Amino acid sequence: MDPMLVVIAVLAVLALAGGLWLVSGRRRGRVPPEVSPHKPLDREEALPTARPEEAGAGTESPGEAPEAGERAGGAVATLERPESIPGRMQRLRARLAGSGGFGKAILSVLSRGDLSESDWEEIEDTLLTSDLGVEVTMELMDGLRTQAKVLGTSDPEAIRGVLRSGLLELVDPTMDRSLNLARPAAAESADLPAGAEPAAAILMVGVNGTGKTTTCGKLARVLVAQDRTVVMGAADTFRAAAAEQLSTWGRRVGVEVVRSEREGADPASVAFDAVRKAADQNADVVLIDTAGRLQNKAGLMDELGKIKRVMGKIAPVGEILLVLDATTGQNGMRQAQVFSEAVGVTGIVLTKLDGTAKGGIVVTVQRELGVPVKLVGLGEGADDLAPFDPEGFVDALLA
């Protein structure tokens, strides 16, 4: 055989092998299309993707981007120390009592002693205005009337006891209200570096203005107060101000915030980057803030499903908190149902309970969804968030 031909054949084989190796090497290093968090899907097809290096997405820690005046002589200002949980419970009890104007109104009727039919109607009206809903009110009224017949209404203390146990039963102390902070096993597609473990992931969802970002910030503080390491993800890419709002919360307690500088970036991509970052850092918890959305916007509801799915490429999302504004009352119920169907809500955060006397909403929302109220927002202050405690709540209502 012509030696020249042999040389050409060998070179051709080598070139082919080299080419194949490069391709498979690229494949190895690349996330397959269906699992790529950066690939825009569905209606986002037209939107630019949000790879951190392309879109200016990045993380911000307190040391990297301090606010003006935050540095003194090159040192980062001291971080805030969030209030301990028992401390805040004590402080917030009075505000919780405010959400139960109805409890006191009923007690005052009961204290009249022998109740006339119009007294009973007054109790019924009061319960109805507390957002307990008609069905629950009727149930509670039946119980009260029956007990009143047995005990006689001349003993207001006894009736108060009946009201307390009736309300407590409605609020249901048997529900598990703990946040799921167990670290999940990594998904097969996670491809994490050795030693990295996914963090417990919490996704915050809800309609506009209910308090999602504020709750993310407050919850980060609760977790920091418990000595947990936290990463937050600003998956509200709708407005640049939203990421800044979350970053401000993070900065105050030294929690890193993963964000995209570009408005309209794919929120699922930012959520993925945050979950990935949390795993790489072995953080305990990753909190993902999302943009407010109306439940009747199907495309936006699908987007939430996508965020959850893409986060699941690292590990399953353990907690999906629906943030509901307590002052919207029964209107919140429809929202709650649609969000629940779209992403499977695991817990409710009832915010602005300090601004309403309609604490009955706690009962209604739990009944409608079969999901417990886990946290309550009781003010605009940084530590005005508390775990929901049924006994404390009912006692505050009847204090």
Ligand X SMILES: Nc1nc2c(ncn2[C@@H]2O[C@H](COP(=O)(O)OP(=O)(O)OP(=O)(O)O)[C@@H](O)[C@H]2O)c(=O)[nH]1
Kindly state whether residue 335 participates in binding ligand X, applying the rule CB under 6 A: no
Helix, strand and coil percent figures for the chain, each rounded to 5: 50, 10, 35
Write the DSSP symbol of residue 205. E
Please give the Cα distance from 393 to 172 (Å, whole number). 11
Write the binding mask 348 to 387 for ligand X: x where contact by CB under 6 A, - elsewhere: ---xx-xx---------------------xxxx---x---
Applying CB under 6 A, among 123, 144, 242, 270 the residue interacting with ligand X is 242
How many residues touch ligand X (CB under 6 A)? 21
Could you tell me the smallest distance in angstroms from the CB atom of residue 237 to Mg ion?
11
Residues facing residue 234 across a β-bridge: 289
Contacted by 214, from Mg ion, ligand X, none: CB < 5 to 8 Å by type = ligand X
Which residue, 218 or 306, is less far from ligand X as judged by CB? 218
Residues facing residue 235 across a β-bridge: 290
- Known binding residue 176? Answer is no
Could you tell me the smallest distance in angstroms from the CB atom of residue 323 to Mg ion?
9
Which residue, 234 or 394, is less far from Mg ion as judged by CB? 234
Report the site for ligand X in 222-241 (rule: CB under 6 A): 236
Could you tell me the smallest distance in angstroms from the CB atom of residue 266 to ligand X?
17
Q: For residue 229, give both structure tokens.
A: 């390491």
- Known binding residue 213? Answer is yes
DSSP per-residue string spanning 342-363 = HH---EEEEE-GGG-S-TTHHH
- Known binding residue 196? Answer is no
Applying CB under 6 A, among 38, 88, 212, 308 the residue interacting with ligand X is 212
SS (H, E, C) 256-311: EEEECCCCCCCHHHHHHHHHHHHHHCCCCEEEEEECCCCCCCHHHHHHHHHHHHHH
Could you tell me the smallest distance in angstroms from the CB atom of residue 214 to Mg ion?
8
Spatial contact of 274 and 235, defined as CB atoms under 8 Å apart? yes
- Known binding residue 328? Answer is no
Report the site for ligand X in 246-305 (rule: CB under 6 A): 291-292
- Known binding residue 211? Answer is yes
Write the DSSP symbol of residue 200. E
Give the closest residue to 235 by CA, choosing from 184, 297, 306, 335.
306
- From 61-69, 205-213, 220-228, 256-264, give the range in contact with Mg ion by CB under 5 A: 205-213
Give the contacts of 386 (CB within 8 A, at least 6 positions apart). 85, 88, 89, 92, 96, 375, 376, 378
Please give the Cα distance from 374 to 371 (Å, whole number). 9
Could you tell me the smallest distance in angstroms from the CB atom of residue 300 to ligand X?
11
- From 31-39, 167-175, 331-339, 347-355, give the range in contact with ligand X by CB under 6 A: 347-355
Applying CB under 6 A, among 213, 260, 328, 356 the residue interacting with ligand X is 213
Strand ranges, E, within the chain? 58-60, 71-72, 75-76, 200-205, 230-235, 256-259, 285-290, 319-325, 347-351, 373-377, 385-387
Report the site for ligand X in 52-111 (rule: CB under 6 A): none
Binding site for ligand X (CB under 6 A): 206, 208-214, 236, 242, 291-292, 351-352, 354-355, 377-380, 384
Binding site for Mg ion (CB under 5 A): 212-213
Residue stretches of the annotated binding site for GTP: 206-213, 289-293, 351-354
